[in-house]
Chains A and B, each alone.
Chain A
């Protein structure tokens, strides 16, 4: 009974995994093969999605990253004060923001805001026959719906992370200068002294992976929706929860790879 249910869960998990991977392959295929078949991905809908996923998300991302930067500075100052090393607050905030907190937190915010919106939109289109209508008009739903959203998140999430990192570091700076009494120039110098190019690159690579995860899960859940308004709600919830879990898992794997690759 117990073994049986484990087997069933594993099977349905693998089935879903293959479907998402299949969606990934067809999405990438529509970018690579699209121009040759004279069916490129629509630039107009890509820009519309990029504005929605990127520019419209700026405020909430800045808000979250700013306060997290402040919190990071206060929490690390609490420990470093005992060692008399409050200057290293700048280094700690800078490195942990770019390597870890910035990419992960921004991605979680975007999974909640953009991923949920994509799933809800595609799920509604599915249950109101609009996806089928696209097919009968010989328009491939992957090329027409999934591809622009995928590309928008793949490009915009790293952009958001870069900007969010600045805001987060600024949040730490505000605490460092006003509360800890560190000189402004010294704080900035210390931040950039400890920040290596690798820190920034690994953070951006992570966020690109997270962007793909959010887009693929959101589109897959949306397009596989069945069963009216209730189904739309169920898919949206599942999309956000699955994205969250996969982002954390991918973060652990990528961090481990970067950590062990160092030696």
Chain B
């Protein structure tokens, strides 16, 4: 049985002020899989995610989701599509002025005609899924970082979406909370058959949750593969990244001669 494609990205290009961020990315995302997008800082993975959720429009290329090219969709079309996916933001992005319960209920109240009783039951169900029973009346400011992420996840799945996007879900969390978030991601994928697209560079969680891994580098797809294929990759860049080494194709240290020149150069030499 061949897997069904839910998101198809074709030759996506984007540049900001002359600097190319995405340099022609093509990618298929299949139904029910957990796809991890990884890459170093500034490789364009966050920008790529912003294109998938339609908050940025590409310079050229296509993003097909639910049979619509969202790179050219109107706001009305986009609104309908946005109801079918959820997004967990890096900072959780809970609305400060609303309680935990109201945060989760917001999309339900705005987009459905459900009774208040049913909405209350749904809030409890979603909170139960993320292990926060009885938290509905707290304000976001009263929660820890990990709890906020879990409430953010509960809000993202409030409308029972087909796809959930995660922007660095485990950044800034302790190892236990990281494991909890990873487990939630896996549970949602397996139990609710949700397609998950995760942007992260936390190597432990990558290999724990991923069905497939995409490695981005300088706005291009460097490699796509299963965790095993990535782990045994022969590409020096991928190897450096997964082993977490400072030295390698991506070098932090410049050559010694340049540094000496830089230090001894006349301060105003270039201006005259």
Contacts and interface: CB of A to CB of B under 8 A. Distances in A.
Contact of A129 (B79, B82, B86, B91): B91
B111 A130 contact: no
A133 interface: yes
A196 interface: no
Contacts of B110: 137-139
A138 B91 contact: no
B82 A135 contact: yes
A172 B107 CA distance: 53
Interface in B66-101: 79-80, 82-83, 85-87, 89-91, 93-96
B218 to A, nearest CB: 24
Q: Is the interface of A mostly helix, strand, loop or mixed?
A: helix
Contacts of B119: none
A224 interface: no
B216 interface: no
A161 B7 CA distance: 55
A132 interface: yes
Interface residues of B, number: 21
Nearest to B110: A139
A227 to B, nearest CB: 15
Given A137-B106, A138-B107, A139-B110, A129 B83 contact: no
Contact of B89 (A124, A133, A139): A133
A209 B153 CA distance: 42
A184 interface: no
B60 interface: no
B55 interface: yes
Nearest to B107: A137
A134 to B, nearest CB: 8
A130 B95 contact: yes
A136 interface: yes
Contacts of B107: 137-139
A136 B85 CA distance: 8
Contacts of B82: 135-138
Contacts of A134: 95
A179 interface: no
Indicate the size class of the contact surface on chain A: 10 to 19
B243 to A, nearest CB: 31
A10 interface: no
Contact of A132 (B79, B83, B89): B89
A39 B89 CA distance: 25
Given A129-B91, A130-B93, A130-B96, A135 B83 contact: no
B53 interface: yes
Contacts of B79: 138
A79 interface: no
A128 interface: yes
Contacts of A128: 91, 93
A138 B93 contact: no
Most buried by A among B79, B89, B93, B107: B93
Interface in B33-87: 53, 55, 79-80, 82-83, 85-87
A135 B55 contact: yes
B32 to A, nearest CB: 21
A187 to B, nearest CB: 46
Given A130-B95, A132-B55, A138 B89 contact: no
Given A128-B93, A130-B93, A136 B55 contact: yes
Given A128-B93, A138-B111, A133 B87 contact: yes
Contacts of B94: 130, 133
Given A130-B96, A137-B155, 9 more contacts: A125-B96, A129-B93, A132-B93, A133-B94, A133-B95, A134-B95, A137-B82, A138-B83, A139-B110
